[in-house]
Chain A
Amino acid sequence: MDIHTLTLAEAGKQLKQKKITSRQLTQAVLQRLKSVEPQIQAFLSIAEKTAFTQADEADRRIAEGGDISPLTGIPIAIKDNICTADAATTCASRILENFHPPYDATVIAKLRRAGVVFIGKTNMDEFAMGSSTENSGYKITRNPWDRERIPGGSSGGSAAAVAADAAIAALGSDTGGSVRAPASYCGVVGLKPTYGRVSRYGLVAYGSSLDQIGPLTKDVKDSAIMLNALAGHDPQDSTSANVPVPDYTSACGKDIKGLRIGIPKEYFAEGIDPEVEQLVKNAIRQMESLGALPIEISLPHTEYAIPCYYICAMAEASSNLARYGGAHYGYRAKNAGNILEMYSKTRAEGFGTEVKRRIMLGTYVLSAGYYDAWYLKAIKARTLIKRDFELAWEKTDIIAAPVVPAPAFKIGEKSADPLTMYLSDIYTISLNLAGMCGISIPCGFSKKGLPVGLQLIANIFKEETLFTAAYAYEQSAGFFNRKPPL
């Protein structure tokens, strides 16, 4: 058997039973990575040497016995906007081309302590601004199921790597769907935890009130194992929640009899691809056959989610990205005569077009005379969107919806008009505005053989409900056994 295809749970078990070593597993995964990388282009850097050092250290820990984490010796890929001490962290931007963070993000420190093997950093839309990974300053990642198509974004490299078995699991970040959407397009499981569930310390900030780190995995149980390791309060992130962390894996395997599943009618309105609609509805029927109770609900402000989200995200981005000016780290333009010229030339040469657009629009909606009309209006709309969910939780335990309106589109198809790209985020962004948790799990394939995801959404800090429902569905549907043609 090819051990690079193992799930995290299976690989962890075999490591613990000493059937395989972390060195063998790391070797197999890196070999797979190298053989598929020319086709999918998922990685910005590969850490072969340090990976083997970490693998040997994990093998030593396992040989000694004692307290072994389910993640000890597991090869994992990291999105390139999560700081890894002394290893390049570029955010797929030219402005951070040679940036080596002086510290680890909290999630990296946690995984390091658990004995994870870090195999490399994955491609993404520059500063996580995009829905296709086409906005990378370095390369375009391809969908393992059809290499003419996008893997989704912005965590496209992480999703493609896991789908292609070039990593056992990966970390991404989700500001408006950037974990869930690529998971759906690539046929893997992607989790956006509740805002504050996972520390953002060391995650390069895009929209600070929306950003959340989440795992991309081969199945639901692996996602629960990863969240166990990632979740928890962090004094370094004052927005991280001081809420107890349960064992999420024990939520997998509980039955869903009587679980109320809300179906938001606005998520099945015009704009949804008929195949996606059919597959998501089939999945809901499947859950009904397991004893769940579907009910129609309404999230009436859904049509305002895109403008609301983009105004909030751009405003926060314009402030967060002000730090890149060429003074302290990153790229600096040559031959600047004065400080203003240094800032404005550095930023003009270092940022890509989409990042510049968002910085300018964010600056505009926050600027004197326009703040009330745009930014204040948007954060009031955010209250209405959040209230929609709060009312829904009075009637339902979980919400089932599509993740994206259609299967993966072709590379270049939506590049000309940024608005058409923004519209593909319609089903994922409301959660970030409201802070809710959500998961994308495979629920079938289009006629062209492209994966389609089902999105399950739960109230804040109700990840256990998500895992219970997602695991029950996954076990009865079994789509995680299908592999892309690579």
Chain B
Amino acid sequence: MSLKRISPDDVRHVALLSRLRLAEEEIPPYTDVLNSILEYFAKLNELDTSSVSPTSHSIEMRNVFREDIPQPSLPVDKAIANAPEVEDNYFRVPKIIQEM
């Protein structure tokens, strides 16, 4: 576990990955608080986990299968009822593919 402090640039990068637009003046306080939390989390380094297998789920469970029976899906009008913007029966969003 790296105890290297995260830099303002790291915070900018993580904010981009997280799809969170941060104002420039928000970067230093986030850098400080994220570092102080990570410093505390680094306590896990005291543990020798070299022979420990990971647990991602508390209750052991194998793949859960069911019969593939067709069922009605959510009606279109209900599916789009909460949409910020719709056009015909579609979700409308800003342009995704830029022109070359």
Contact = CB atoms under 8 A, between A and B. Distances in A.
B84 A434 contact: no
Given A102-B81, A337-B94, A361-B37, A374 B52 contact: no
Contact of A308 (B21, B36, B44, B96): B44
Interface residues of B, number: 54
Nearest to A343: B19
Given A347-B19, A363-B17, A460-B59, A383 B34 contact: no
A338 B30 contact: no
B89 to A, nearest CB: 13
Contact of B81 (A100, A343, A357, A422): A100
B37 A418 contact: yes
Interface stretch (A69-77, A169-177, A269-277, A322-330): A322-330
A304 B40 CA distance: 10
Contacts of B58: 195, 209-210, 382, 386, 432-435
Most chain B CB inside 10 Å of its own CB: which residue of A235, A364, A376? A364
Interface string A413-454: 000011100100000000011110000000000000000000
A379 B49 CA distance: 10
B19 A384 contact: no
B38 A361 contact: yes
A367 interface: yes
A318 B44 CA distance: 21
Interface residues of A, number: 75
B92 to A, nearest CB: 9
Contacts of B37: 310, 357, 361, 418-419, 422
B94 A364 contact: no
Given A329-B82, A379-B56, A345 B93 contact: no
A435 B59 contact: yes
Q: Is the interface of A mostly helix, strand, loop or mixed?
A: helix
A341 B38 CA distance: 28
A387 B2 CA distance: 26
A246 to B, nearest CB: 18
Interface string A354-366: 0011011101100
A380 B53 contact: yes
Interface string A178-211: 0000000000000000111000000000000110
A342 interface: yes
A239 B33 CA distance: 34
B54 A382 contact: yes
A404 to B, nearest CB: 19
A433 B54 CA distance: 12
Contacts of B52: 380-381, 383-384
Contact of A340 (B15, B19, B47): B19
Interface in B51-79: 52-59, 61, 64, 66, 74, 78-79
A377 B17 contact: no
Contacts of B96: 338-339
Interface string A84-101: 000000000000001110
Interface string A367-404: 10010011011111111101000000000000000000
B42 to A, nearest CB: 8
A16 interface: no
A433 to B, nearest CB: 7
A417 B84 CA distance: 35
A364 B14 contact: yes
A310 B22 CA distance: 23
A344 B81 contact: no
Given A332-B85, A344-B20, A360-B15, A379 B54 contact: yes
Nearest to A370: B2
B93 A339 contact: yes
B57 A342 contact: no
Contacts of B36: 417, 419
A444 B20 CA distance: 45
Contacts of B59: 194-196, 239, 241, 435, 460
A331 interface: yes
B94 A379 contact: no
Interface string A210-228: 1000000000000000000
A311 interface: yes
A336 interface: yes
A348 interface: yes
A344 B21 contact: yes
B19 to A, nearest CB: 4
A351 interface: yes
User: Which A-B residue pairs are the 10 nearest by beta carbons?
Assistant: A435-B58, A329-B82, A332-B84, A380-B49, A344-B21, A379-B54, A238-B64, A307-B41, A102-B78, A373-B1
Given A196-B61, A311-B41, 7 more contacts: A307-B43, A322-B19, A341-B21, A344-B20, A364-B14, A364-B34, A383-B54
11 contacts: A318-B18, A327-B83, A328-B91, A332-B85, A360-B20, A360-B30, A361-B38, A367-B17, A373-B1, A373-B2, A418-B37
